[in-house]
Amino acid sequence: MKPLEDWLTRGKISEEHGKYLKKERLYSFLVGVSQLVILILFIGFWEIASTYKWIDPLLFSSPSRIWETFITMLLAGELHQHIIATVWETIVGFLLGTILGTVIAIVIWWSKFLSRVLDPYLVVLNGMPKVALGPLFIVAFGGGFMATIAMAIAISIVITTIVVYGSFKEVDPNYIKLVQTFGAKKQQIFSKIVLPVSFPTIISTLKVNVGLAWVGVIVGEFLVSKLGLGYLIIYGFQVFNLTLVFVSLFIIAVCATIMYHLVQYVEKLLLKNRN
Amino acid sequence: MQSDHLISFEHVTKTFITWDGETHAVENVSFSVNEGEFVTLLGPSGCGKSTLLSILAGLIKPTNGEVHIRNEKVTGTSKHIGYMLQQDYLLGWRTIKENIFLGLEIQGLETEQNQKKALKLLAEMGLLSYKDHYPSQLSGGMRQRVALVRTLATNPDILLLDEPFSALDYQTKLKLEDLVIDTLRRKKKTAVLVTHDISEAIAMSDRIIILSPNPGRIKTVIEIPDVIRTPLPFASREVPEFQSYFQMVWKELNYS
């Protein structure tokens, strides 16, 4: 047991510190094991329930069938185009939603008058379920790429504007006073103080928006697309191939998680020097 | 009206008007400050002392009256003036060096020569080795010294000090008072300090203008004798006359 003990207490600077490290490491290990056990139990139970027909395998499929379908489709080259389309739409929608939302926030920060004028419209648009605008996007942009991206943008843009504008407004006025005493013009107040102070908030909207963009893209694909993971879900449902639906859900879960972590990583990089 | 004074306030009145009504912040305030002088505006909160400072800095316009600097009417912010706020307000995302260049950047004076001068000032404050650190890595006193360098970097003739020591602990505050006075004297700057701290006012100033509140008006002006104002603030507090001036100011503030 000596090597194990050494490994658990590696990096210790005293006996007490070693004990603490060991306790913390065992705790983390326990958390990891529990997470894995839940996953295995869930998949195992699903498989068994499906095999013994406790649940209808036609409706709820089974992990082994999902896996088979996934591998078959992957090898047949049927999945790439759907994954690429959806991921691409999500990235574009997410970036445009965030950028446009921030730009609008900047414009209304600049003009107090405009912010007063636009206030009720923002409130209404924010309250509005953007998904309900779907048919309008189809009419305006046709059934495809553009309509899906429009949906992703619509879902994230208003909330971005509201959140970012809110952070612009909450900048401590003493910072603004500070640069004003140096004779700063409005544009300098913005670039030297307001934007950098609000930068962490803008970055945090990225994380929210990446989730919202997924919602927009999947709903957009439900409504119009002939391509993409959202389309696969609807198609699978229509031909009653629910295994296909589960395959799509599985891929979406993986892609969305990867994208979320990438955004989190970028956030960490960008905010590295902040306290 | 020509005068020899560096700064002159002429019948300055400021009323703030909002939906709820109006607030008379200062009323008919007149005084002047000579070149190289250190003048303190002392009074309780609500006496409009910070308002007077903002008017002098050109950040807000007086409702009535005028302020002149070198016989020129103040209409907006001026490069003659450096302003120190109650807290250091260093920008957390910039290094110390980038923080002290802020004013130069805004005024478009970011020459190599000016940057060198700013770094030299930083060295005088004993903080040159921290130039690439971030503000969060510095103590409160160090940060306020950086703020002083930032203010001096644009080479203003007049320094406005808006309770710049109020957020610091007592010991740090005493040390900084000496440092500020010493620096201002060496560089022959004129300064206007706003404070509610009586002993700080006596220890640092050449002259104290006592204000009464609601609305802010000048109550008395007290000249500080050479024996107190010649030493640095910390030593001034040891001078026997200091106590009697403290009593005098105290009575003025509390007598109505």
Are B174 and B247 within one domain? Answer: yes
Q: Is residue B207 packed enough to be buried (19+ CB in 10 Å), middle (13-18) or exposed (0-12)?
A: middle
The answer, yes or no, to whether residue A34 has pLDDT greater than 60, is: yes
| Strand, helix or coil for residue B15 | strand
Interface residues of B toward A, Cβ cutoff 8 Å, are: 57, 59, 76-79, 81-83, 85-87, 89, 91-93, 102-103, 105-107, 134-136, 154, 160
Are B133 and B237 within one domain? Answer: no
Which pLDDT value is given to residue B168?
87
Are B244 and B149 within one domain? Answer: no
pLDDT along chain B (256 residues), means of 10: 81 93 92 94 89 94 94 90 93 94 94 94 92 93 93 94 90 90 92 94 94 90 91 92 92 82
Are B69 and B163 within one domain? Answer: yes
Last residue of a domain, one of B155, B180, B195: B155
Are B56 and B25 within one domain? Answer: yes
The answer, yes or no, to whether residue A275 has pLDDT greater than 60, is: no
Contact in structure between A19 and A8 (CB atoms under 8 Å): no
Are B120 and B242 within one domain? Answer: no
Which pLDDT value is given to residue B108?
93
Are B10 and B38 within one domain? Answer: yes
What is the rounded average pLDDT for all residues in chain A?
Answer: 92
Q: Which amino acid is at A42?
A: F
Are B100 and B65 within one domain? Answer: no
ipTM of the complex: 0.89
Instruction: Say which of A178, A182, A274 has its CB closest to residue B93.
Output: A274
The answer, yes or no, to whether residue A12 has pLDDT greater than 90, is: no
The whole-model pTM stands at 0.84
Q: Which residue has the higher pLDDT, A252 or B1?
A: A252
Average pLDDT of the segment spanning A146-164:
93
Last residue of a domain, one of B107, B135, B155: B155
Are B171 and B196 within one domain? Answer: yes
The answer, yes or no, to whether residue A273 has pLDDT greater than 80, is: no
Are B165 and B72 within one domain? Answer: yes
Which residues in chain A touch residue B85, judged by CB atoms under 8 angstroms apart? 174, 177-178
Which pLDDT value is given to residue A134?
86
Strands B158-162 and B190-195, how do they pair?
parallel
Last residue of a domain, one of B155, B175, B204: B155
Are B179 and B192 within one domain? Answer: yes
Q: State the residue range of the domain holding B127.
A: 88-155
What is the number of structural domains in chain B?
2
For CA atoms B92, B97, B102, B105, give the dihedral sign: negative
Contact in structure between B91 and A196 (CB atoms under 8 Å): yes
Average pLDDT of the segment spanning A94-122:
94
In which element (H, E) is residue A100 found? Answer: helix A80-110
Are B30 and B55 within one domain? Answer: yes
